[in-house]
Chains A and B, each alone.
Chain A
Amino acid sequence: MVPLNYYLLLSAVLFVIGAAGVLIRRDLIVILMSVELMLNAVNLTFIAFARSLGSMDGQVIVFFVMTVAAAEAVVGLAIIISVFRHHRTLDPRQMQLLKW
């Protein structure tokens, strides 16, 4: 059986990649994908612990997270489409109307 640490390490790596993507990339769609990546990294942790501890709680939470993530993707993509129609760009640096 694969030891717990491997899973945790993998999910940590995935989370950091996701976080870096959110902070660095210049495209809203990629940023949204990176957020999904972070969520799934967390899901992986939950599953790994549930398996390791023999408890169902973690798996239940993962279902919740997946539901929320689906809803979030729907709303997020809708906003992105609307933003694109308005600005003709998806670069977050161009969207600074709310500063000061």
Chain B
Amino acid sequence: METLSLLRLIPLVPLLGTGANIFFGARLGRKNAGLLASAAVAFSFLLSLWIFVLLPATGSFRDTLFTWIESGSFKAQISFQVDALTAVMLLVVTGIGFLIHLYSLGYMGHDEGMVRYFAYLNLFIFFMLLLVLADNLLLLFVGWEGVGLCSYLLIGFWHQDHTNTIAGNKAFIVNRIGDFGFLLGILLLVWELGGQGVWGIDFITLKGSAHLLAPEKVTLITLLLFAGATGKSAQIPLYVWLPDAMQGPTPVSALIHAATMVTAGVYMTARLHFLFTLAPATLAVIAAIGALTALFAATIALAQNDIKRVLAYSTVSQLGYMFLAVGVGAFSAAIFHLFTHAFFKACLFLTAGSVIHGLQGEQDMRKMGGLKERMPITYWSHLIAALAISGAPLTAGFFSKDQIIWQAYTGPNGTVCLWLMAWITAGLTAFYMFRQLFMVFHGECRAAEHVRSHIHESPRVMTVPLIVLAFGSVFAGWLGPPEFMWGSAWDRWLGPLFGAVEEVAHGDKGQEIFFMLFTLAIAGAGLYLAYLAYLRGINFPGYLSSWAAGFPYRLLVNKYYIDELYDLLWVRPFTGISTWLAKFFDVAIIDGIVNGVAERVRGSGLFWRRLQSGNIQHYLLGFLTGTLMMLAYYLYR
């Protein structure tokens, strides 16, 4: 634990970038505003890199700014810390964040609101850094809410279109539901620890005194905290906001709704691993929800036609993998997948953005096709990232996802059932990713005539981030291969942090290789089926979609009618009650009381004003009568 007061600069510089863009953005001009914002994030990235180099394997840096809340023995500070986990998150957030800032310079270059866009983006980076740097749960919560706010602002960035603002509201409200649980969890934690005489909220105190808590309380606390994670990280039952969040600009989808913010829930569970491991019941719930979400979202992704929605459901599915890993107790595997996923999913979103950019806003994959020659860099980046997410050998997804699938079976809490769900999901992932690839880049061009003539490769400011991310999609995984290959630098880096908590399953080598081949087989099968269906034109999807009167297909296209179900269960009753309150209760009761009081006052005024006749002799009579009455009172009392 060393003090390093440079730490505060990492989040503060992007915050200054936001301030500069808000107050002087109009004067700077759009281009300079974007460059300024990018420079701020680049600075944070370089600083993070330097701190990463300085950081000893098991130590940590700390920077305390001031005491934030002090009440009796309770104390919370504005204080940052960097340990192995935070260092990794810092690099992901600032590194990918910087690339996406660069990309946005090209993508948003013609947009009226570019200054506002970059102000929001920098603000997001600030809150995300606050979230990962926080050394206590309250400060983490501030960052947690802040990134939610930025997500809302950026989803509804093009607010002239009403559907965008609705999507923003949906994201915000669904997140609030989860955050309510999260806040309750924090309060319960503080309350219960306070009952044991420990008044503190920083992670070191929590770690030192977690064993004081009663087991059933720990289960309740962790379940509440996980409720927050299901909202932020889009797990069942609160995942519904993420697909709609695709209404925002595509770089935002890449940064916030794929690479960083949605992984906050995974980060939080890893940060509080010492609590979660004390609650086996919660871990079982997390594993089940993670596996279920992975499978469920992957099936929806099969039938979507919007290029970004496929990726959105894919993100939900991959986040499910991460929670599956958390649930089976493989925290470092979860963070590893978070790390690699950030590269290839950001890459996929940015290539999708590049395609949308080239096709003048077209998002329907049925109107694409044949873009391979026209947009070669985009194509190759997309291909590499798609291979990575499908788990092709030696790519990033291969190492991180296989580790999770294997741990789902052999990990401390692994079961056959979890493994089976994760395994099937791997096949589905390969299928829908290559369905997308073939529909967008291969075959005939199905775009409208006037669009077709304008298809072009994106400018270099957009393609360079694609190339960097494509490289990351391959090589990021090489940090954490299984033990029998060249040993995992990743586990050596993060292992000490999770320490005794994580008993990495070191099953026998043969079993691990067998599992790996098994997963490769299903991924390969998925890829091959996509090839047959969308490149060779063997129309079995057409046959499947009409199978059983098309019912299963309609179920998938309509996303299992979950939005409709929620609408029926929650939104309608809620708006019904609100409407009743507004139309009846507010008008009749609240307004009735206010207007009634005013009416009575007016009525009595109308009555008593008759006293004011204007005739001076009447007043004098009143004057005399009053005097006489007072006199009588004093004389005869």
Contact = CB atoms under 8 A, between A and B. Distances in A.
Interface of A: 19, 22-24, 92-93, 95-100
Contacts of B614: 95-100
B617 interface: yes
Interface in B396-442: none
Contacts of A22: 617, 620
Nearest to B612: A99
18 contacts: A19-B624, A22-B620, A23-B617, A23-B620, A23-B621, A24-B617, A92-B616, A93-B615, A93-B617, A95-B614, A95-B616, A96-B613, A96-B614, A98-B614, A99-B612, A99-B613, A99-B615, A100-B612
B624 A92 contact: no
Contacts of B624: 19, 23
B609 interface: yes
Contacts of B609: 100
A96 B617 contact: no
Interface in B467-503: none
What does DSSP make chain B's interface, helix, strand, loop or mixed? helix
Interface string B602-631: 000000010011111100110010000000
A43 B10 CA distance: 93
Interface of B: 609, 612-617, 620-621, 624
Given A19-B624, A22-B620, A23-B621, A92 B615 contact: yes
Given A93-B617, A95-B616, A96-B614, 16 more contacts: A22-B617, A22-B620, A23-B617, A23-B620, A92-B615, A92-B616, A92-B617, A93-B615, A95-B614, A96-B613, A96-B615, A97-B614, A99-B612, A99-B613, A99-B614, A100-B614
Contacts of B621: 23
A96 B609 CA distance: 14
A10 to B, nearest CB: 20
A27 to B, nearest CB: 12
Q: Which 10 A-B pairs have the closest CB atoms?
A: A99-B614, A96-B614, A92-B616, A99-B612, A23-B617, A23-B621, A100-B612, A100-B609, A93-B615, A92-B617
A98 B616 CA distance: 10
Contacts of A19: 624
A22 to B, nearest CB: 6
A22 B617 CA distance: 7
Contacts of A24: 617
Nearest to A97: B614
B610 to A, nearest CB: 9
Contacts of A93: 615, 617
Nearest to A28: B616
A96 to B, nearest CB: 3
Contacts of A92: 615-617
Nearest to A96: B614
A26 to B, nearest CB: 9
A92 B617 CA distance: 8
A99 B614 CA distance: 4
A96 B620 CA distance: 14
B628 to A, nearest CB: 10
A39 B617 CA distance: 18
**Which one of A95, A97, A99 has the greatest number of beta carbons of chain B within 10 Å?**
A99
A69 B609 CA distance: 33
A16 B186 CA distance: 84
A90 to B, nearest CB: 12
A3 to B, nearest CB: 22
A24 B615 CA distance: 12
Contacts of B616: 92, 95
Contacts of B620: 22-23
A95 B624 CA distance: 21
A22 B620 CA distance: 8
A23 B614 CA distance: 14
A1 to B, nearest CB: 28
A97 B609 CA distance: 15
A96 B617 CA distance: 11
A93 B613 CA distance: 10
A95 B609 CA distance: 18
Nearest to B610: A100
A98 B609 CA distance: 12
A91 to B, nearest CB: 10
A55 to B, nearest CB: 24
A19 B628 CA distance: 12
Nearest to B624: A19
B602 to A, nearest CB: 14
A19 to B, nearest CB: 6
B41 to A, nearest CB: 71
Nearest to A94: B615
B603 to A, nearest CB: 16
Contacts of B615: 92-93, 96, 99
A30 B621 CA distance: 17
Contacts of A99: 612-615
A92 to B, nearest CB: 5
B209 to A, nearest CB: 75
Contacts of B617: 22-24, 92-93
A99 B618 CA distance: 12
A100 B613 CA distance: 8
A19 B617 CA distance: 11
Nearest to A31: B617
A98 B478 CA distance: 95
A28 to B, nearest CB: 9
Nearest to A95: B616
A31 to B, nearest CB: 8
A13 B330 CA distance: 111
Nearest to A24: B617
A24 B624 CA distance: 13
A23 B621 CA distance: 7
Contacts of A97: 614
A8 to B, nearest CB: 15
B629 to A, nearest CB: 15
A97 B614 CA distance: 7
A80 B628 CA distance: 29
A100 B611 CA distance: 9
Contacts of A95: 614, 616
B626 to A, nearest CB: 13
Contacts of A100: 609, 612, 614
A65 B614 CA distance: 29
A24 B620 CA distance: 11
